[in-house]
Amino acid sequence: MEIKSINAAMLKKMFLAGAANLEAKKEWINELNVFPVPDGDTGTNMSMTILSAAKEVDALANPDIKALAKAISSGSLRGARGNSGVILSQLFRGFTKVIAEYDVITVPVMARALEKATETAYKAVMKPKEGTILTVAKGAALKGMELAEQTTDLVAFSEAVIKEADRVLAKTPDMLPVLKQAGVVDSGGQGLVEVLRGALMALKGKEISFSYVPESKEAPIGAQASSYIDAQANQEIKFAYCTQFLVMLEKPFSEKKEREFKSYLEEIGDSIVVVADDEIVKVHVHTNDPGLAMQKGLMYGSLTTIIIENMKLERDEKISAMKEKEMQNVTSQAEPEQTSGGPKKEMGFVAVSIGEGLNEIFRGLGADYIIEGGQTMNPSTEDVLFAVSSVNAEHVFILPNNKNIILAANQAAALCEDKKIIVIPTKTIPQGITALVNYIPDQSPKENESHMNAELALVKTGQVTYAIRDTEIDGRQIHQGDYMGIGDTSILSAGTDKKAVTMEMIEQMIDEESSLVSIYYGEEAKEEEAMTVSGLITAKYPDLEVEVHAGGQPIYYYIISVE
């Protein structure tokens, strides 16, 4: 089948198919996240970003390419969540800048669009890192420019571009040691490949249905909850067992053997990941017979780190918990819309936070609007813009309080036209609190921005959570269920004793300049436990001041700052 041009109708099908394929693979992509913490969200962020654009595209009846380009660009920009989602939106932005000038898309147009997409995305990231979605996009674009002089067939062109993107993706562990240690490819790059793969399926004539489902942070309330739970219970799980293992190679694992292994796994399951280097092969597959996958793996070497999870059982347990929650009628209601009343002021604050205690701390320090979110739910660019519109101030400071939200905040700043947005690049909750503490009303916005940014460097943050899988990272062997103390740039401690892990983390954070330790305990921690940790710190470091606060945050037992 040879196709030499794509019209608007076909482009619409391709984009929606790409969105549908990414949505279908998002949980698998989430599992590729390097850190084994229970908040993997790359797939979710990318999916929600593209679905925001897909909603607008799906609503267009008989559009031309210019209208489609506008819907894709504006929808993805406003819906962008997390670093991976923002980069994906920038790829779409660059791509659509080129195609918007044409009535049909040919191979040369497609090649230039891929090149522009990559250029735009690289410019959007302050310090581009290779071995990421950017590298995969660049590989696809370079292949596209090469092929533009060799073929006029868009099918052949697209197949070769995706093959190259897959090849570059497989090499990302060689570019980022942290990926190699964890035995995974880059999750953002995998997400991009799935978008391209879905689009190609539509180009080749495969019908892929797309239906927009509005996002929901929680299950619906009241009468709608029952139908939601029933829908979840009736959702088909084609392959029941999530199977993961490592093959310790006993003989060379050639590219031919890798292709054969993948083909075999495709016969018995889906959601397949096979990542190989000279010594080990990392295998992930959803299947109804884990034994078959492992028997095949034994042909190449011995097996280790075997994890088999019954996804049907996990689904049933989740449904049971949801029903119990419904019966107890404790489903939380959405917070009322926040507004900043009174006369317009010069400066206001928007903070990203989650947990009743932390939210109250930010409000008490002067935050005008709290965006509920963080590690488990990165707010979108549009969420940030809405928050800014709700603050009656000429200059609005945004405190992202998470490194994965800074790009979305910056994107909101670029899109906002009626107010001056100042993003303070806070990467953690304690940094956000420090920024607000150091706000001086009598100073100008520029002076406050400079002062708050300077204070961020004085704050060290540690967070205690648990591992959701076995891995090796930062030179540490970590097992599923272990507690982990995560610092600003690395894992500082790990083990089976939560108190010991917490203290080891804190001891690595404290130095001669330290004067204050603040402990924010989460919804899964008790005040008595936090007070015990406080007592241990005071006993070992009698000159330090120690504060304990109820944070109420999910995922993390403790968020701890040292200043």
Q: Which of 99, 94, 90 minimizes the C-alpha distance to 65?
A: 99
> What is the reported pLDDT for 473?
78
Q: Is the pLDDT of residue 332 over 60?
A: no
Cross-sheet strand order for the sheet of 345-353: 369-372, 345-353, 393-399, 420-423
Average pLDDT over residues 289-318: 82
Going by pLDDT thresholds of 50, 70 and 90, the confidence category of residue 50 is: very high
Instruction: Determine the 3-state secondary structure of 8 from DSSP.
Output: helix
Check: CB of residue 393 under 8 Å from CB of residue 355. Answer: no
Q: Which of 88, 78, 87, 83 minimizes the C-alpha distance to 33?
A: 83
> What is the reported pLDDT for 330?
41
Residues 6+ apart with CB under 8 A from 85: 45, 46, 48, 49, 79, 378, 380, 408
Phi-psi region of 416 (alpha: psi -120 to 50; beta: other; left: phi over 0): beta
> What is the reported pLDDT for 228?
40
> What is the reported pLDDT for 237?
64
pLDDT in tens, 261-270: 888 988 898 7
> What is the reported pLDDT for 39?
54
Sign of the alpha-carbon dihedral angle for 81, 83, 84, 88: positive
pLDDT in tens, 162-207: 999 999 999 999 998 878 877 889 999 999 999 999 999 999 998 7
> What is the reported pLDDT for 318?
55
Q: How far apart are CA 132 and CA 190, in angstroms?
A: 9
Q: How far apart are CA 340 and CA 367, in angstroms?
A: 10
Cα separation values, 151 from 117, 145, 198, Å: 21, 11, 22
Q: How far apart are CA 376 and CA 82, in angstroms?
A: 11
pLDDT in tens, 384-405: 999 999 999 999 999 999 998 9
pLDDT in tens, 474-506: 778 888 889 999 999 889 999 999 999 999 999
Check: CB of residue 429 under 8 Å from CB of residue 405. Answer: no
| Range in 148-162, 367-381, 434-448, 458-472 with the lowest mean pLDDT | 367-381
Amino acid at 146: E
Amino acid at 521: Y
Structure letter (DSSP) for residue 206:
-
Q: How far apart are CA 512 and CA 487, in angstroms?
A: 18
Tokens of 296: 């095949």
Residue with the bigger pLDDT between 422 and 307: it is 422
> What is the reported pLDDT for 338?
58
Q: Which of 350, 353, 370 minimizes the C-alpha distance to 552?
A: 353
Q: 65-79 vs 42-58: helix axis angle to the nearest 10?
A: 140
Amino acid at 160: A
Going by pLDDT thresholds of 50, 70 and 90, the confidence category of residue 231 is: very low
Q: Is the pLDDT of residue 227 over 90?
A: no
């993390």: which residue's tokens?
Answer: 556
Instruction: Determine the 3-state secondary structure of 146 from DSSP.
Output: helix
> What is the reported pLDDT for 172?
94
- Indicate the length of the chain as a whole number: 563
Q: Is the pLDDT of residue 214 over 60?
A: no
> What is the reported pLDDT for 218?
41
Residue with the bigger pLDDT between 255 and 71: it is 71
Check: CB of residue 58 under 8 Å from CB of residue 31. Answer: no
Per the prediction, the chain carries an average pLDDT of 86
Amino acid at 60: L
> What is the reported pLDDT for 183?
80
Residue with the bigger pLDDT between 34 and 103: it is 103
Going by pLDDT thresholds of 50, 70 and 90, the confidence category of residue 331 is: very low
Q: How far apart are CA 533 and CA 528, in angstroms?
A: 9
* Beta pairing class for 420-423 and 545-550: unpaired
Going by pLDDT thresholds of 50, 70 and 90, the confidence category of residue 232 is: very low
